[in-house]
Amino acid sequence: MTAITYPSRYRQIGYVVGAFVLVVVALGTVKFFQIRRAMMMAPKMGPKAVTTTVVTERMWRKGFDTVGSFVAVQGTTLSAEEAGTVSRIVFESGSAVQAGQVLLELDRSVEEANLAGAQSRAELARQNLERARNLRSQSALSIANLEDAQSRLQQSEAEVRSLKAIIERKTIKAPFAGRTGIRMVNVGEYVSAGTSLVPLHAIDPIFLNFSVPQQILPNLKLTSAVRVEIDAFPEEAFTGEVSAINPNVNPTTRTIEIQAALSNLNGKLLPGMFGRVHLDLGVNTNVLAIPASSVVYAPYGNFVFVVQRKSASDGDKKPEEGEITARQQLVTLGDRRGDLVSILTGLSAGDEIVSTGGFKLIPGDAIVVQNQNSPSDAEKPSLQDS
């Protein structure tokens, strides 16, 4: 009987490694020919469709855009200075009131009764002082008794003034003209000193508070115009002017607090509202402006693609049939307004650049211009239904 022999362990490993290498070589060969075929076909791909625009010079009025909040010119929540029971309310929530108008009264019957007694005692003290003066003129009364009569009158008059002040504090009046909020108490309710009664705000004109960086301080001045847009009234812009500038710069943010005053006759603007602010700095500048869609943003620097057209002298082709290519150009961006952005460096007026489609280009790509659907280049774009 013949014995059966088996390959050694090392020979088996060699077979496995050899098979693996053959598979890798086969796959690599297939991939090589696929890539080679794709590279051979690449030049046959047509030029990429883009839209273009010409860099133009525009006159922009220098300004600064930020956000701010509306606050009342005067605003407070009226509260009780004395404890007592609400006896009368003489205003409606949300109504306009005048300065000094009575809004609410607390029960003051006890103080009025005490006032009547104090006035009676003051009158008696006044009469006693008159008699003391007559007696003193006849040397029938000592100076000490006269001074005592004078002191009693002063004490009585002080008591009268104190009671009148308490009664006055139990009559809540509007300290300034404005509009009341929703009252927080009812008739018959007992309130202690310090209890909130009703908010009161003066909102015409109304203030807008915002901050600006210290760099614009040279062009900032009182009466500088501001334009404000708010989400509640998207079709309307509100105008005003700077009324106050803080005399110090915030050491943390390096910004300056600004306050502007706006007319609010119709009462549309309310304290606490948020608004987008454009501050006019009163300086006209010439800028090179391009559509913001032209810019390709990159970590190493923002750039645009400049259109290069091959002229007839470059070959036998006619100018209209000449090849159009894209050249990458780094740019420095400035202010942005609507659909436009200003260019500080990198371009000149008259340069033709790619306005859309730049994201799919690489330097030197052939392009075809299709400006039928060029992007908007409005400084104040408006939303439209699609």
Question: Does 2 fall in a domain?
Answer: no
* Among candidate residues 224, 250, 282, the one where a domain is terminated: 282
By percentage, how much of the chain surpasses pLDDT 90?
33
Residue 283: is its pLDDT beyond 80?
no
- For position 311, which CATH number holds? 2.40.420.20
* Among candidate residues 257, 282, 307, the one where a domain is terminated: 282
Q: Are residues 224 and 293 in the same domain?
A: no
Average pLDDT of the residues in 207-221:
90
Q: Are residues 88 and 113 in the same domain?
A: no
| Number of domains forming the structure of the chain | 4
Q: Are residues 236 and 276 in the same domain?
A: yes
Give dist(CA 212, CA 67) in Å, integer: 10
Q: Are residues 68 and 214 in the same domain?
A: yes
Print the domain residue range for 182.
Answer: 81-107+170-194
Q: Are residues 251 and 230 in the same domain?
A: yes
Q: Are residues 296 and 368 in the same domain?
A: yes
Q: Are residues 68 and 211 in the same domain?
A: yes
Q: Are residues 239 and 326 in the same domain?
A: no
Residue 224: is its pLDDT beyond 60?
yes
Q: Are residues 261 and 332 in the same domain?
A: no
- For position 68, which CATH number holds? 2.40.30.170
Give dist(CA 352, CA 347) in Å, integer: 9
By percentage, how much of the chain surpasses pLDDT 70?
89
Round to the nearest angstrom and report the end-to-end CA distance of the chain: 91
Q: How confident is the model at residue 321 (pLDDT cuts 50, 70, 90)?
A: very low
Question: Does 349 fall in a domain?
Answer: yes
Q: What is the 3-state secondary structure (H, E, C) of the chain?
A: CCCCCCCCHHHHHHHHHHHHHHHHHHHHHHHHHHHHHHHHHHHHCCCEEEEEEECEEEEEEEEEEEEEEEEEEEEEEEECCCCEEEEEECCCCCCEECCCCEEEEECCHHHHHHHHHHHHHHHHHHHHHHHHHHHHHCCCCCHHHHHHHHHHHHHHHHHHHHHHHHHHHCEEECCCCEEECCCCCCCCCEECCCCEEEEEEEEEEEEEEEEEEHHHHHHCCCCCEEEEECCCCCCCEEEEEEEEECCCCCCCCCEEEEEEEECCCCCCCCCCCEEEEEEEEEEEEEEEEEEHHHCECCCCCCEEEEEEECCHHHCCCCHHHCCEEEEEEECEEEEEECCEEEEEECCCCCCEEEEECHHHCCCCCEEEECHHHCCCCCCCCCCCCC
Average pLDDT of the residues in 179-202:
92
Q: Are residues 299 and 217 in the same domain?
A: no
pLDDT digits (tens, 9 = 90+) for 241-271: 999 999 999 999 899 999 999 998 888 999 9
Question: Does 17 fall in a domain?
Answer: no
Mean pLDDT rounded to a whole number for the chain? 84
Question: Does 8 fall in a domain?
Answer: no
Question: Does 159 fall in a domain?
Answer: yes
Phi, psi of 130 (to 5 degrees): -60, -45
User: What is the predicted pLDDT for the residue at 65?
Assistant: 87
Q: Are residues 274 and 177 in the same domain?
A: no
Question: Does 35 fall in a domain?
Answer: no
Average pLDDT of the residues in 330-337:
87
Give dist(CA 259, CA 359) in Å, integer: 43
pLDDT digits (tens, 9 = 90+) for 30-49: 887 777 776 565 555 568 88
pLDDT digits (tens, 9 = 90+) for 47-93: 888 889 999 888 888 888 899 999 999 989 999 988 999 999 998 99
Q: How confident is the model at residue 382 (pLDDT cuts 50, 70, 90)?
A: low
- pTM, 2 dp: 0.61
Question: Does 182 fall in a domain?
Answer: yes
* Among candidate residues 169, 186, 221, the one where a domain is terminated: 169
User: What is the predicted pLDDT for the residue at 319?
Assistant: 43
- For position 93, which CATH number holds? 2.40.50.100
- For position 116, which CATH number holds? 1.10.287
Q: Are residues 210 and 138 in the same domain?
A: no
Question: Does 22 fall in a domain?
Answer: no
